[in-house]
Amino acid sequence: MFHQAESVHTSGADTIVSPGSAGRLTDRYGRSVDYVRIAVTSRCNLRCVYCLREEHGSSSEEGLRFDEITRVIRVLADCGVRKVRFTGGEPLLRPDIVRLVREAKAVTGVGTVTLTTNGVLLDRHLDELVQAGLDGINLSFDTFDRERYRQMTRRDLFPRVRANLERVVGEKGLKVKINVLVLRGINSDELQRFVELSRDAPVTVRFMELMPFDDHQIWRTGKFMGAGKILESLKAIYPEMEESRGRSTEYFSFSLPGYAGGISIIPAFTRNFCSECSRLRITSTGRVMNCLYAREGADLLAVLRSEAGSGGLEEFFRRTVARKPRDGREAGGSAPRTSMSEIGG
Ligand code: SAM
């Protein structure tokens, strides 16, 4: 049944296309993949304590080249992938990021193209990105306090990012989500301030649990604040908060009466939505991860740089998706990994 061609509307044009001609990418459990997250670099201009060491290497070598990324998107779109997210590292450090967005948007079948960014370089790129057709931005921003920001990111860039946040929130036609990593005793007293961002603007504020993907293993230091605890704190401030049906990664999703935006809580350990997983991740080193908790990915770079044509590439993705583990436990569990900067979150 998954091999039937389907009709979808592309967002860039009103034409009806039938991109599923290659047949969807499905796994043993009947899930099909329609979402790819591509870490386009492992370089970053921040050094968040929960993510990277100060001495993180800043190699100028990218894993995947522009033409390789766009080729991958075309093959995936032909197999039913509709959503593309660029992440990193910091994706805005890629000199060709605007071109990547434009090219991805032009691929038949691709509906939405989004970006996860720390926001440092948005003043330089926002207008061009919007013109290129970017549909949404997830902006990672953990504190409203300049000194805390400096301590958490090891960079004194708060005023710039704060100003960029204002710009993004005010940008019409862009779906904006604010990613807030909640750390007990560090920014856990700022939840209300974040929620208030959603009062007048249609943004989603997403409170995230710390995952064990960081160089310093900060998650071992008592800073972890679980989804249940985050929820309890929010309910104490907003007893009128209403639960709405969560999206597949947003275990808890809420709205507040009269608020333009919404609130989500993204659990790491308490996840129970693997049965709905429709995503594939491509790391900054050119490996395909069929699960966030997979121990090692499949070597996409080698396939791309071999003689394999589009058919070979498609076959590689088919095999990788077919082996998608049922859940994180089957994938190998929560074995700590070097840093989220390679997987892109
Ligand atoms: N540089 C971009 C940014 O800051 O949004 C994209 C890459 S960053 C790795 C993507 C997301 O991963 C960010 O929202 C960040 O907060 C999150 N992240 C990094 N390390 C994490 C960890 N140990 N646990 C949970 N989230 C983490």
Q: Residue 343 CA: which ligand 1 atom is closest?
A: 9
pLDDT of residue 19: 46
Q: Residue 51 CA: which ligand 1 atom is closest?
A: 20
Pocket lining: 121 vs ligand 1, CB cutoff 6 Å: no
**Best mutation site among 140, 153, 339 for ligand 1 pocket (most ligand atoms within 8 Å of CB):** 140
pLDDT exceeding 70 applies to what percent of the chain?
85
């939405």: which residue's tokens? 112
- Rounded to an integer, the average pLDDT of 256-269 is 91
| pTM (predicted TM-score) | 0.90
Pocket lining: 267 vs ligand 1, CB cutoff 6 Å: no
Q: Residue 50 CA: which ligand 1 atom is closest?
A: 23
pLDDT digits (tens, 9 = 90+) for 122-169: 999 999 999 999 999 999 999 999 999 999 999 999 999 999 999 999
- Determine the distance separating the centroid of ligand 1 and the alpha carbon of 100, expressed in angstroms: 21
Domain boundaries, the chain: 29-342
CATH of domain 29-342: 3.20.20.70
- Rounded to an integer, the average pLDDT of 50-56 is 83
- Rounded to an integer, the average pLDDT of 304-316 is 91
What type of residue is 168? V
